[in-house]
Chains A and B, each alone.
Chain A
């Protein structure tokens, strides 16, 4: 089976080379003499491929967000029929800017009529996006005048990302917003009497650009779009037209108290067999709380009322729906996993509300929603569990079942339609040695019953090693990857990644 990374690389090569051979665009225009610091496509495609090879071999440039596109299509549209007359001059201008702004470790290549592919050898995604945004702004100003801005009518910046199946997609970078934030930071730095930090090393820049818009959290989704952000307007309009956004009336009319108290974070789930972080747990957390120690709704309140649990399940699903929608709009495909408590599914009123939201999920989104049933005991009747699973199964990719930690048998789970069973270590206070013994027992049991298995709440390297060695298919927790404020791209993740932090700590 082809590893995900190889798939992405193959896809990338096709994208860069094979597809480009079919391009109807003009040949690469002759470039002026380049300065020393630039590594461009001056010797044609072979040279570009030769230089790109080591970068692809060294790192996963797509997963790292280092592959950016600069798109001139909007400028071409704006110029109209005169584009063919001025195209060669435009490309000379663009290449001069690229050669001046890119580092020795970066590469670029023109692709087709309007697009430049930029490969940043060393930068992180947000750094690459900032640099691309600044380049786009400079190109826009050069071509359209000093007051021109990149984005809406100017140069478009896009990041190449990989979806859950390893296919490539492009994600639009909100260049206007990035530049506005940089200017704001510069102004603040100036007011504070210190040099402006325009680079992404500034922690503020990193967090802001990591969290570019309404996809980030429930809070950000509801907030007004920032200066220059079009996403909020477009998405609001789309929501009005999209039947998937019509939540059931009973829920819409409820008080918003819990909704206003809850925020969401996202924890990557390691698919051990595929060596990748491909799906994300949607985790509710109290607003203003430090999310790192929290693992989910179980510790949200010590003894939650049933209606609070059901409400939380609904909010979690709504959050996932917003994110799936935002991801789709950006051309990305990642699986989001939503916890749902068993009691929500057995109570007629809460079940009706929850299933109403499920039914409103667009068909296309359902392969990217995963349900995780919690709160089941070994004494749960098999028929009740099977009934609960059958009600939500049509609306998602799969149904995982959280077992009680001391579960000794899977008889009550058999033939009830779940795809995976597992445990959340964060909900148990027993020692690591006992947890490791239970890992081995449960993983073997699940395999014997032909279930996939998962272990969440992994908070130490010992527990991570134990979970992987026991044979769990999916592993998640603080020791694997910290929570994120935003759903990120899919990442390659190997066992050696577990130990990188220790190896690098002086």
Chain B
């Protein structure tokens, strides 16, 4: 059974993702911010991580960068409100800095499931040097 770690500061979002993904047969663990998520990743080594971007204490892109330094092969899906916030597109930046897939909130659960299945069935990508883009 594949193991998915969900990192999101919104309790409702965590509960929704957990119910949905457990219903699809995945084992799900939860973290409420990036710092806790990194600790849980080191302890449990999940197969896939779904992380929000805008979080207190340690936000999503910083979390992705640290996760990539610890394990270049773990699959990561970044989720964030609206995609473009203000004039910025933090989701694009997240993809440039190591997320395998990005999804804007409100999340279409079918899209999320399709992304999870695709990433978990794909062979581990060969990555040696993150971030590959997004930084000048």
- Report which A residues bind B (CB closer than 8 A): 272-273, 431-433, 435-436, 460-462, 465-466, 468-471, 494-497, 499-500, 502-503, 506
Cβ of A465 and Cβ of B57 under 8 Å apart? no
Cβ of B9 and Cβ of A433 under 8 Å apart? yes
B66 shortest CB reach to chain A, Å: 7
A480 shortest CB reach to chain B, Å: 14
User: In whole angstroms, how far apart are the Cα atoms of A61 and B95 in the complex?
Assistant: 28
Kindly state whether residue B86 has any CB partner on chain A within 8 Å: yes
User: In whole angstroms, how far apart are the Cα atoms of A431 and B33 in the complex?
Assistant: 13
Task: Spot the interface stretch: B23-31, B48-56, B71-79, B99-107.
Answer: B48-56
Option from B65, B90, B130 in Cβ contact (under 8 Å) with A495: B90
Option from A433, A462, A468, A497 in Cβ contact (under 8 Å) with B58: A462
Kindly state whether residue B135 has any CB partner on chain A within 8 Å: yes
Give 1 or 0 for each of B85-127: 1 = CB within 8 Å of chain A CB.
Answer: 1111010010011000000000000000000000000000000
Quick one: given A433-B9, A503-B131, are A465 and B59 in contact (CB under 8 Å)?
yes
Cβ of A469 and Cβ of B56 under 8 Å apart? no
Option from B54, B58, B135, B136 in Cβ contact (under 8 Å) with A466: B54
Cβ of A462 and Cβ of B97 under 8 Å apart? no
Tally the A-B contacts, defined by beta carbons under 8 Å: 71
User: In whole angstroms, how far apart are the Cα atoms of A462 and B136 in the complex?
Assistant: 21
What are the residues of chain A within 8 A of B135 when measuring CB–CB? 496, 499-500, 503
User: In whole angstroms, how far apart are the Cα atoms of A502 and B61 in the complex?
Assistant: 10
Cβ of A496 and Cβ of B136 under 8 Å apart? yes
Kindly state whether residue B22 has any CB partner on chain A within 8 Å: no
What are the residues of chain B within 8 A of A272 when measuring CB–CB? 86-87
Cβ of B56 and Cβ of A502 under 8 Å apart? no
Kindly state whether residue B62 has any CB partner on chain A within 8 Å: yes
16 further interface pairs, Cβ-Cβ under 8 Å (given A432-B57, A465-B61) = A272-B87, A461-B58, A462-B59, A462-B62, A465-B53, A465-B54, A465-B90, A466-B56, A468-B88, A469-B90, A470-B86, A495-B88, A496-B93, A499-B65, A502-B66, A506-B69
Smallest Cβ-Cβ distance to B53: which chain A residue = A465
What are the residues of chain B within 8 A of A500 when measuring CB–CB? 135-136
B98 shortest CB reach to chain A, Å: 9
User: In whole angstroms, how far apart are the Cα atoms of A468 and B54 in the complex?
Assistant: 10
Cβ of B86 and Cβ of A471 under 8 Å apart? yes
Option from B9, B34, B86 in Cβ contact (under 8 Å) with A468: B86
User: In whole angstroms, how far apart are the Cα atoms of A499 and B136 in the complex?
Assistant: 10
Most buried by A among B9, B60, B62, B93: B62
What are the residues of chain A within 8 A of B62 when measuring CB–CB? 461-462, 499, 502
Interface size range on B against A:
20 to 34
What are the residues of chain A within 8 A of B130 when measuring CB–CB? 503
User: In whole angstroms, how far apart are the Cα atoms of A435 and B59 in the complex?
Assistant: 14
Most buried by B among A432, A471, A495, A499: A499
Cβ of B53 and Cβ of A503 under 8 Å apart? no
Smallest Cβ-Cβ distance to A497: which chain B residue = B136
A40 shortest CB reach to chain B, Å: 28
What are the residues of chain A within 8 A of B58 when measuring CB–CB? 461-462
Option from B57, B66, B85, B97 in Cβ contact (under 8 Å) with A469: B85
Cβ of A499 and Cβ of B61 under 8 Å apart? yes
Option from B34, B55, B136 in Cβ contact (under 8 Å) with A494: B136
Cβ of B65 and Cβ of A462 under 8 Å apart? no
B84 shortest CB reach to chain A, Å: 10
Smallest Cβ-Cβ distance to B96: which chain A residue = A496
Option from A433, A499, A506 in Cβ contact (under 8 Å) with B56: A433
Smallest Cβ-Cβ distance to B86: which chain A residue = A471
User: In whole angstroms, how far apart are the Cα atoms of A500 and B97 in the complex?
Assistant: 10
B47 shortest CB reach to chain A, Å: 24
B97 shortest CB reach to chain A, Å: 7
Smallest Cβ-Cβ distance to A465: which chain B residue = B59
23 A-B interface contacts by CB (under 8 A): A435-B56, A436-B56, A461-B58, A461-B61, A462-B34, A462-B55, A462-B56, A465-B90, A468-B85, A469-B86, A469-B88, A471-B86, A495-B88, A495-B90, A496-B93, A496-B134, A496-B135, A496-B136, A497-B136, A499-B62, A500-B135, A502-B66, A503-B130
Cβ of A461 and Cβ of B59 under 8 Å apart? yes
What are the residues of chain A within 8 A of B81 when measuring CB–CB? 469
What are the residues of chain B within 8 A of A431 when measuring CB–CB? 56
What are the residues of chain A within 8 A of B86 when measuring CB–CB? 272, 468-471
B123 shortest CB reach to chain A, Å: 26
What are the residues of chain A within 8 A of B34 when measuring CB–CB? 462
B38 shortest CB reach to chain A, Å: 12
Quick one: given A465-B54, A466-B54, A469-B86, are A495 and B93 in contact (CB under 8 Å)?
yes
